[in-house]
A = this chain, B = another copy of it.
Amino acid sequence: MLLVLDGLGGLPHQSHGLTELEAARTPNLDQLAREGQTGLSQAVGLGVTPGSGPGHLALFGYDPIGNNIGRGALSALGLGLDLNDGDLAVRLNFCTLGADGTVLDRRAGRIETEVNHVLVQKLNEIDIPDVDLRFVTESQHRAVLVLRGPNLDRRVVETDPQAVGVPPKHPDALDPKATHTSALLAQILVEVRSVIGAETPANFVLMRGYAGTPKLPTLGNLYGLNPVCVATYPMYKGLARTVGMEVIDSLHTLSDQVATLDNAWDAYDYFFLHVKAPDARGEDGDFDGKVAAIEDVDERLIEIVEHAPDVLVVTGDHSTPSRLGQHSWHPSPCVFWGDTVRADETSSFGERSCGGGSLGVFPAQAIMALMLAHSGRLAKFGA
């Protein structure tokens, strides 16, 4: 079982000097650390801040650099949309444009998801010859557009300027083969303007994360695993589907997630349990909220451990220090716990304590090999 506390790692609080994880009361995680082996896992490399895609691909054992999946495809997969070969998925933000054509708010005041639904319904009336367009609500200001048609190419400039006070960029082709797609996206943006240009506050969209259908070998093919994803957020379900996991749907709370293990335990042999809250509170800059989110997981840990996995790994996909309010490059505390895990001298679960663990700072991509080894699933190499 891989238990991911999204954005787990943090930085010391500027008054009391403890990180969120160090400040949290985590008797159960501390016991894992005492009985298990610890270290700091690093998804991409020293100094590199991982997005959710590379962060999780590494945890699943994939090269996170060679397998960079576009955000559009992740979002589409997370929403359960079918992507065919040749489709192009685009991540959209509803935004607010000023009268001068510059971006006033890249997220249109984080509109309610209900408003998003109404806008998406209008956008789905856009009709352009030779291409099927499907706009789909993700949440709040976030949506996805899937294009299906001939000759689509993702090598186009993202229109999101990543700043306010400037106009959106034009979707210029970055490669001669993307000229058709560039023209198509420009035409779509004209239509979008005509359909929702009079709305408030969301009167336009910004495009980014162009992506074709990701093609990865599955965990079943690679390792003979029958894996399952126990997550609440679309993005992580999408990542899990991309690597061939089955996804248990209709989970909304940590309580749902833990409860579903009872039924699922005998049906699968690899569990990816994803907890979003530590990252969300970290991005909010909410130190105490992140502490509470970590403590919530600690309280449910006994119910998870009760299932007696061959090996349990608890770590993050990246750090999200509430002090920074965003993903960071700091490696993630990590603990391995199980019958064949060789304990080290770490006695609590935290950034500093795991920093002295016998795994050292190690690539998150190695977690899968270690999990397979600790489950007795790898043969000896060489005579």
Interface set of A (CB-CB < 8 Å, partner B): 9, 11-12, 19, 40, 44-55, 64-65, 68-71, 74, 91, 209, 321, 324, 326-330, 340, 342-345, 351-353, 355-362, 366, 368-374, 378-383
Taking a contact as CB atoms closer than 8 A, the residue among B48, B71, B342 that contacts A330 in the complex is B342
Copy number in the complex reads: 2
**Smallest CB separation, A97 vs chain B (Å):** 24
Taking a contact as CB atoms closer than 8 A, the residue among B321, B343, B370 that contacts A47 in the complex is B370
| CB–CB B340/A345 < 8 A | no
State the CA gap A374–B342 with chains docked (Å): 30
Taking a contact as CB atoms closer than 8 A, the residue among B49, B55, B352 that contacts A373 in the complex is B49
**Smallest CB separation, A60 vs chain B (Å):** 14
Q: Which residues of B contact A372 (CB under 8 A)?
A: 47
| CB–CB A381/B50 < 8 A | yes
Q: Which residues of B contact A321 (CB under 8 A)?
A: 340
Q: Which residues of B contact A371 (CB under 8 A)?
A: 47
Taking a contact as CB atoms closer than 8 A, the residue among B329, B379, B381 that contacts A378 in the complex is B329
Q: Which residues of B contact A358 (CB under 8 A)?
A: 40, 351-352, 355-356, 361
| CB–CB B327/A49 < 8 A | no
**Smallest CB separation, A284 vs chain B (Å):** 17
| CB–CB A344/B327 < 8 A | no
State the CA gap A97–B344 with chains docked (Å): 47
**Smallest CB separation, A280 vs chain B (Å):** 16
Taking a contact as CB atoms closer than 8 A, the residue among B45, B51, B55 that contacts A369 in the complex is B45
| CB–CB B74/A378 < 8 A | no
A-B pairs, top 4 by smallest CB distance, nearest first, are: A355-B358, A47-B369, A71-B383, A51-B382
State the CA gap A51–B378 with chains docked (Å): 13
Q: Which residues of B contact A330 (CB under 8 A)?
A: 342
Q: Which residues of B contact A340 (CB under 8 A)?
A: 11, 321, 324, 328
Q: Which residues of B contact A74 (CB under 8 A)?
A: 383
| CB–CB B47/A342 < 8 A | no
| CB–CB B382/A53 < 8 A | yes
Given A11-B342, A342-B11, A361-B362: A48 in contact with B356 (beta carbons within 8 A): no
Q: Which residues of B contact A359 (CB under 8 A)?
A: 361
**Smallest CB separation, A348 vs chain B (Å):** 12
Taking a contact as CB atoms closer than 8 A, the residue among B55, B369, B374 that contacts A48 in the complex is B369
Q: Which residues of B contact A362 (CB under 8 A)?
A: 46, 361
| CB–CB B366/A64 < 8 A | no
Q: Which residues of B contact A44 (CB under 8 A)?
A: 381-382
